[in-house]
């Protein structure tokens, strides 16, 4: 019996060496016919607002802060910067915008673009064997050009537990369990991005933000109303048939 357990552990260790643990976000499948807004969007890598902890214990098993550490044989670290790329991919997949690109610094943005940035607030995932839910949250904003004012802000969070676990139906196929875990995280992240994207597009489609800024012309200064003429000027215009 002991010999069998040793062999099983060795085989599991060998199997773990060939696992693909890198998380790659998969955006929604485009449905076609989406309304295209005449806006160019630049997305910055998101910032890390998750705190300095790597692991948290809990009454039901504990968490890993996925922004700071991966889980051995299950998933690698998912940096907040990857969230920015993932959101850009989701905006691109929607087909709702004239152009979407990822930039590394706000100086790379242009004043004819809407620039989106965000901060990951929570990226807690349960340790293997834990019964805690996955907890993701993020806050985002958008500005008119790299020196423009912020006209859109949105915070979204999700919590969800894998009811049947990640290995159900996988047998001894460890990669199967890894893929199921990644798919669960991906689905949760996608619902966050779809909610944010819908609100973002709605704000832009309204074509007018706070303080009279035209969102369909990113970077353009607020329109200036013509000044009122004095009484003397008005009388003079009338006399001159203007």
pLDDT score at 168: 87
Rounded CA-CA distance 182/21 in Å is 9
Return the pLDDT at 59: 76
pLDDT of residue 227: 39
The CB density around residue 72, as the number of other CB atoms within 10 Å, is 11
Residue 206 has a pLDDT of 87
pLDDT at 17: 56
User: Which has more pLDDT, 22 or 225?
Assistant: 22
Contacts of 58 (CB under 8 A, 6+ apart): 130, 132
Lowest-confidence range among 30-44, 81-95, 110-124?
A: 30-44
The reported pLDDT for the residue numbered 35 is: 76
Measured distance CA(43)–CA(120) in Å, rounded: 14
37-220, superfamily in CATH?
Answer: ABC-type transport auxiliary lipoprotein component (3.40.50.10610)
What average pLDDT does this structure show over 65-91? Answer: 96
Mean pLDDT over 25-47 rounds to 89
DSSP output for the chain: -HHHHHHHHHHHHHHHHT--------PPPP-S-PPPEEEEEEEPPPEE-S-S-SEE--TTS-EEETTT--BTTTB----HHHHHHHHHHHHHHHT-EEEEEE-SSGGG--TTEEEEEEEEEEEEEEPTT--PPEEEEEEEEEEESTTSPEEEEEEEEEEE--TT-SSTTTTT-HHHHHHHHHHHHHHHHHHHHHHHHHHHHHHHHT---GGG--TTSTTPPPP-PPPPPPHHHHHHHHHTT-
Taking only the tens place, the pLDDT of each residue in 182-233 is 999 999 999 999 999 999 999 999 854 444 445 555 444 433 333 344 444 5
Asked if 177 contacts 170 with a C-beta cutoff of 8 angstroms, the reply is yes
Higher-scoring residue by pLDDT: 5, 113: 113
Cα separation, 217 vs 189, whole angstroms:
30
Residue 163 CB coordination number (10 Å): 6
Position with higher pLDDT, 234 vs 184: 184
**pLDDT computed for residue 18 by the predictor:** 84
* Both tokens assigned to 21: 């643990």
pLDDT one-digit tens code per residue, 131-187: 889 999 999 999 999 889 999 999 999 999 987 789 888 999 999 999 999 999 999
For the chain, the structural domain boundaries read: 37-220
User: How many CA atoms lie less than 13 Å away from 50 in the CB half-sphere?
Assistant: 26
Give pTM, 2 decimals.
Answer: 0.79
Axis-axis angle for helices 2-17, 174-205 (nearest 10): 40
């Amino acid at each position: 019996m002991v010999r069998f357990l040793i062999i099983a552990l060795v085989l599991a260790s060998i199997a773990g060496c060939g696992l693909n643990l890198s998380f790659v976000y998969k955006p929604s499948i485009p449905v076609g016919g989406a309304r295209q807004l005449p806006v160019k969007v630049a997305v910055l890598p998101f910032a890390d607002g998750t705190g300095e902890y790597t692991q948290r214990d809990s009454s039901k098993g504990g968490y890993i802060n996925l922004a700071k550490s991966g889980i051995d044989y299950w998933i690698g670290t998912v940096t907040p910067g990857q969230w920015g790329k993932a959101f850009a991919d989701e905006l691109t997949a929607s087909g709702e915008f004239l152009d979407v690109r990822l930039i590394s610094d706000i100086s790379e943005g242009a004043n004819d673009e809407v620039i989106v940035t965000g901060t990951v607030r929570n990226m807690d995932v349960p340790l293997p064997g834990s019964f805690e839910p996955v907890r993701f949250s993020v806050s985002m904003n958008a500005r008119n050009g790299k020196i423009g004012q912020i006209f859109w802000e949105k915070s979204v969070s999700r919590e969800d537990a894998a009811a049947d676990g990640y290995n159900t139906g996988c047998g001894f196929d460890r990669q199967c369990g890894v893929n199921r875990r990644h798919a669960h995280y991906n689905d949760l992240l996608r619902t966050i991005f779809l909610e944010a994207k819908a609100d973002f597009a709605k704000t832009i489609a309204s074509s007018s933000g706070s303080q009279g800024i035209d969102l369909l012309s990113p970077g353009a200064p607020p329109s200036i109303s013509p000044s009122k003429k004095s009484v003397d000027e008005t009388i003079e215009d009338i006399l001159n048939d203007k």
